[in-house]
Amino acid sequence: MDNLIYKGAINSLSFGNVSYNILRELYRKGLTVAFFPFGENLNFEAFDKIEEDFKNWIISMSQNRFHLIDRDYHTLSQWHLNSSENRISRYQTLLTAHETDQATPIEKNIAQLQDNCIFKSSYSRDIFKDSGCSNVHSVGLGFDEDFCITGNEYFKDKIHFGLIGKFERRKNTAQILRNWAKTYGNNTDYQLSCCINNGFLKQEQMNQLVFQALEGATYANINFLPHLKTNSEVNDLINSIDIDLSGLSGAEGWNIPAFNATALGKWSVVLDCTAHKDWATKDNAILIEPDGKTPIYDNLFFKEGSLFNQGNMFQVSDEKMIQGFKKAEAKNKAQNKEGIKLQKDFTYQKTVNQILKIINNEK
């Protein structure tokens, strides 16, 4: 395969980061790619380490996309099931993420509309396979090579916890904040840094969510960071923490923050469910067994009765969550050597190779 049509976003969100890494591997393979960016926008702000030749290639492939298309070329689209009903060429593979425990009839129809529908976790693949879809696959994401271990020392005399990822009910953000404050609040031996801004919410809404989670109290050792513009800033934040709490999410398509933290040698407290099962083990993470499921609806991103995103998420008790904090604390800044192995076990070269094999119907 020498030609490919690619649809995806280039921005600082998770889908944008995945597209950036997929395009980099396609660029390295020398493919000619007609790139259709969602929203007609290329936002490179997060990618401060991008090579100029690669950046120019992305721009060129986007500007010349209408010259490069052919109805017989294969399209790879990296997007949500919602809005993936259209296609440019005769053949299309969708790479997507899904977070709940069931496929709605509309989601199933859109998945079956594709020649191949690839999920980023085996959990989601099996949900759709059990619903009757015969064209579904799963491919894990890779470690972004722009991230690295800095070797810098940040909080020598404190145990530094980190919570990264937009504030959402499915991510158990409020529960994590509440339990951490109850356990370590105003104890100067501990620090919690939160990078949890949700770009889909107004600042007043964010402030209210944090106010409710902490029951109106303020804590000197909980730090709320502004939006970090570049991946280098995010990398520096992850390197500064000892323990990641992003893995306590109850519904994930992959969970890039927790995965990156683990691959950078940090200890992540991980709820043993959904996509986490594809990369988190008892050797590289603090695994916490969930306590069943609960409806995922939050009336913001998951609305009951909608055509998409229906079903349940996993939940965990306050007691188990706090036990997870303590188990991670006992690691006492020890580097997670098993976690670092994820950098080689999961690469975007492997991700793209697997995708191309599926597209080419290779075993």
| Superfamily classification of domain 3-142+347-359 | Glycogen Phosphorylase B; (3.40.50.2000)
Of 297, 290, 300, 281, nearest in space to 338 by CA: 281
What's residue 363's pLDDT? 56
The b/e string for 71-108 (b: 16+ C-beta within 10 A; e otherwise) is eebbbbbbbbbeebeebbeebbbbbbbbbbbbbbeebb
What residue ranges of the chain have pLDDT lower than 50? Answer: none
Pull the structure tokens for residue 197.
């801004």
Pull the structure tokens for residue 52.
């100029």
Rounded Cα gap, residues 29 and 31, in angstroms: 6
Per-residue pLDDT tens for 72-113?
999 999 999 999 999 999 999 999 999 999 999 999 999 999
CATH class of the domain at 159-345:
alpha beta
Query: Order of strands across the sheet with 74-78?
Result: 32-42, 3-10, 74-78, 91-96, 116-119, 136-138
Instruction: Please list the helix, strand and coil fractions of the chain in percent, rounded to the nearest 5, in that order.
Output: 35, 20, 45
Are 224 and 237 in contact by the 8 Å Cβ rule? The answer is: no
What stretch(es) of the chain map to CATH 3.40.50.2000?
3-142+347-359, 159-345
The b/e string for 151-162 (b: 16+ C-beta within 10 A; e otherwise) is eeeeeeeebbbb
Per-residue pLDDT tens for 263-292?
999 999 999 999 999 999 999 999 999 999
Rounded Cα gap, residues 301 and 286, in angstroms: 28
Rounded Cα gap, residues 263 and 357, in angstroms: 26
From residue 196, how far is each of 103, 228, 235, 283, 308 by CA, in Å? 28, 10, 15, 27, 24
